[in-house]
Amino acid sequence: MCQVVKADAYLVDIEVETVRTDAMQTFVKQETIFVELATADGLTGVGYSYTIGTGGRAVLAMLREHLLPVIVGRDSREVEGAWRALYDSTRATSVGVITGLALAAVDLALWDLRCLRAGEPLWRVAGGFQGSVPLYDTEGGWLQLDQDELVAAALASREKGWTGVKIKVGKPSGSEDARRIRAVREAVGDGMDIMVDANQSMTAAEAIRRAALLEPYDVSWFEEPLPADDVAGHERLSAATSIPIAVGESIYSVGHFREYLQRGAAGIVQVDVSRIGGITPWLKVAHLAEAFNVVVCPHFLMEIHVSLVAAVPNGRYVEHIPQLRAVTTEQIQILDGRAVAPDRPGLGIAWDRGRIDDRRVA
């Protein structure tokens, strides 16, 4: 009775809520790929994945032509077996971002079914460590904002009780980056975390130089300083600075995270549930990081990551970038600077079907 009897996938475009520019690109729109799995006992699980403007139709094609036929007929309770069967069916394109994004949408739908069947929220089914987690803001730290805007946004976050803000770096001059970070630090004082994010824009030599410029301002982490495939460069940088190096949003396999951790090239793990291929591998990465005594602060997708960070003992932070408000009926609850994990059965996201249908493009 738990077999998947029907599987559908479709693409929805969600406009960005604010201009978002970093050192490498501008967030154009969120291409959101949905998967719905119906089972013989009458349940429907909903999963989703995303891109920030390109590739959504490629993910949709991967789902419709290859993955959904594999999932139909399988027992939805056997999530590990289903994930492995899906992965094995895509050996020619794994490990890769298109395959990972497609796998994630199916895997999230399976976990939605698992939680619905158990009558429990995701954060409990996935581990159940704590019901809320600290929140930090990225929306006020984009690269196109001037120094006064960065300061004002950081102060507003502090007023809300949030304990951290992230500032994009990668200006032409390292001294300009340092001035911007210094201004925020002087405004908010010593009691607030300040993270910086270079979005893979630097060489190892330049990242080492800029880390030295930023160290006086007690930066909590230096995110994606180098291209994600440069493990050796991250290792050199980690050895050269006291600032923890954060990686993960552009890593697509558990094995790649293992290499970073074994080599001491990452002090913060930012595994993205969509890009890693779903909740099933996300949890493996989180537990792997715990074995190395490293915290998890996932990239983006706060609406799902709040539950996953709450599930594991080394979950440290959720990133505040609202993006699903146009297609949901409820926002995540924030209480005393902490994001509260949804307590309803399932993934905890209250989808607005009418608004989703209005934005459907394929």
130 and 237 in a common domain: yes
Same domain, 112 and 186: no
> 190 and 83: one domain?
no
- 118-140 pLDDT, tens per residue? 999 999 999 999 999 999 999 99
The contacts found for 283-291 with CB under 8 angstroms, 24 or more apart, are 283/126, 283/127, 283/308, 283/311, 283/312, 284/254, 285/248, 285/254, 285/257, 286/311, 286/312, 286/314, 286/315, 287/312, 288/254, 288/257, 288/258, 288/261, 289/257, 289/261, 289/314, 290/314
The reported pLDDT for the residue numbered 148 is 97
Does any domain span residue 77?
A: yes
Across the range 156-185, mean pLDDT stands at 97
User: Is residue 345 domain-resident?
Assistant: no
How many domains does the chain fold into? 2
Q: Kindly state whether residue 346 falls inside one of the protein's structural domains.
A: no
pLDDT above 90: residue 181: yes
Q: Same domain, yes or no, for 110 and 30? A: yes
Q: Are residues 210 and 233 in the same domain?
A: yes
Residues with catalytic roles: 168, 299
Mind listing the pLDDT tens digit for each residue in 237-254?
999 999 999 999 999 999
CATH classification at residue 138:
3.20.20.120
Q: Is residue 187 part of a domain?
A: yes
Q: Are 237 and 101 in the same domain? A: no
**155 near 187, Cβ under 8 Å?**
yes
The reported pLDDT for the residue numbered 241 is 98
Pair 141, 266 in one domain = yes
pTM of the model: 0.97
Structural domain contains residue 227:
yes
For residue 93, the domain's CATH number is 3.30.390.10
Are residues 201 and 297 part of one domain? Answer: yes
Q: What is the 3-state secondary structure (H, E, C) of 19-65?
A: CCECCCCECCEEEEEEEEEEECCCCEEEEEEEECCCCHHHHHHHHHH
Full residue range of the structural domain in which residue 91 is found: 4-119+353-358
Is residue 107 domain-resident?
A: yes
